């Protein structure tokens, strides 16, 4: 956190040096991003990402959408517009903040160029099936969680920025190989799951492996990691998860 001198913000442990929450999914030839964060440029450079086939948005909070402009070099490299998928509200905000990226035809070459697709139900990007779930992210705000299916059944659930995981999503997530879940901090919070709320959901869903994300600076990686049960860990920047290797917990 800017200006903070707490032990986590000052920590030399790379697992405590956190940029904004997002993931990159590589499946066969397909390269997908979930959320273009305020740190998207740095995250792409750091992870060596040189191609993005589509971006999927969880919600329109600034830390999740403001990196749209950084799609610019990828549009140029790929010589194509990049499709963005989000709720009507996400798309409305992208249209308002980045009108030049949405404009058809582009005002000039060299701008980010995106096509907007509203999420209304399960959709596909190539061979990847993506099922959205509406999540409460505070009393009056909704985000989307997603279950990804590479063709051999659901393999990954990505549920960040939520205060709860509704029953229909829990049912679909039951026994999934990999679950990535919001766990902001230990103390109660209006819009995010706490560590104990996240652990409760993991106990019910019984994923093969659970990773917590979107932690704030009250969560020291080593300290909290030592308190977690088997099969549950805090994610960290740069973490790579191989869904092919991952197994359901019971097998
Ligand atoms: Zn701090
Ligand atoms: Zn967020
Ligand atoms: Zn949010």
21-120 against 122-251: fold identical? yes
3-state secondary structure of 91: helix
Whole-number Å distance, alpha carbon 221 to ligand 1 midpoint, is 13
**How confident is the model over 14-57, as pLDDT tens digits?**
999 999 999 999 999 999 999 999 999 999 999 999 999 999 99
pTM of structure: 0.96
pLDDT in tens, 4-15: 999 999 999 999
* Centroid of ligand 2 to alpha carbon of 128 (angstroms): 24
CA 143 to centroid of ligand 3, rounded, Å? 7
User: Could you tell me the residue ranges of all domains in the chain?
Assistant: 21-120, 122-251
Q: What gap in Å lies between CA 32 and CA 150, rounded to an integer?
A: 12
CA of 220 to the centre of ligand 1 (A): 10
What's the pLDDT tens digit per position in 173-225? 999 999 999 999 999 999 999 999 999 999 999 999 999 999 999 999 999 99
- Return mean pLDDT, the chain: 96
Distance 59 CA to ligand 2 centre (A): 8
- Give the rounded percent of residues in the chain with a pLDDT score beyond 90: 93
246 pLDDT tier (thresholds 50, 70, 90): confident
Model pLDDT, residue 249: 52
Which one has a higher pLDDT value, 250 or 31? 31
Q: How far is the CA of 192 from the centre of ligand 3 (A)?
A: 8
DSSP state of 3: T
Please check whether residue 91 is in contact with residue 116, taking contact to mean a CB–CB distance below 8 angstroms. Answer: yes
Q: CATH assignment of 122-251, given 1.10.600.10, 3.40.50.2300, 3.40.50.10330, 3.60.15.10?
A: 3.60.15.10
Q: Is the pLDDT of residue 127 over 80?
A: yes
- Determine the distance separating the centroid of ligand 3 and the alpha carbon of 53, expressed in angstroms: 24
CATH superfamily of 21-120: Ribonuclease Z/Hydroxyacylglutathione hydrolase-like (3.60.15.10)
Ligand 2 centroid from CA 63, angstroms: 6
DSSP letter for 62, please. Answer: H
CA of 251 to the centre of ligand 3 (A): 35
Burial string for 23-44 (b: 16+ CB within 10 Å, else e) reads: bebebeebbbbbbbbbbbbebb
Short-list 105, 103, 107, 98, CA closest to 71: 98
CA 199–ligand 1 middle distance (angstroms): 23
Whole-number Å distance, alpha carbon 70 to ligand 3 midpoint, is 20
């Amino acid at each position: 956190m800017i200006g903070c001198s707490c032990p986590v913000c000052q920590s030399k442990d790379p697992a405590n040096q956190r940029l904004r929450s997002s993931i990159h999914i590589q499946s066969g030839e397909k390269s997908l991003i979930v959320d273009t964060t305020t740190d998207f440029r740095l995250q792409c450079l750091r992870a060596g990402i040189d191609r993005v086939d589509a971006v999927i948005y969880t919600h329109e909070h600034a830390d999740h959408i403001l990196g749209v402009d950084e799609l610019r070099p990828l549009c140029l490299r790929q010589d194509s517009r990049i499709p963005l998928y989000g709720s009507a509200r996400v798309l409305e905000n992208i249209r308002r903040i980045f009108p030049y990226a949405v404009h058809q035809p582009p005002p000039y070459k060299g701008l980010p160029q995106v096509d907007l697709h509203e999420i209304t139900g399960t959709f596909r990007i190539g061979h990847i099936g993506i099922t959205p779930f509406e999540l409460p992210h505070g009393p009056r705000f909704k985000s989307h969680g997603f279950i990804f299916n590479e063709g051999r059944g659901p393999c990954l659930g990505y549920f960040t920025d939520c205060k709860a995981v509704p029953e229909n999503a829990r049912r679909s997530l039951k026994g999934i190989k990999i679950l990535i879940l919001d766990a902001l901090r230990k103390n109660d919070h209006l819009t995010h799951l706490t560590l104990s709320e996240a652990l409760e959901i993991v106990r019910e869903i019984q994923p093969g492996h659970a990773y917590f994300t979107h932690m704030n600076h009250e969560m020291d990686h080593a300290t909290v990691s030592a308190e977690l049960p088997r099969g549950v860990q805090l994610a960290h920047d740069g973490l790579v998860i191989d869904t092919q290797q991952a197994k359901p917990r019971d097998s």
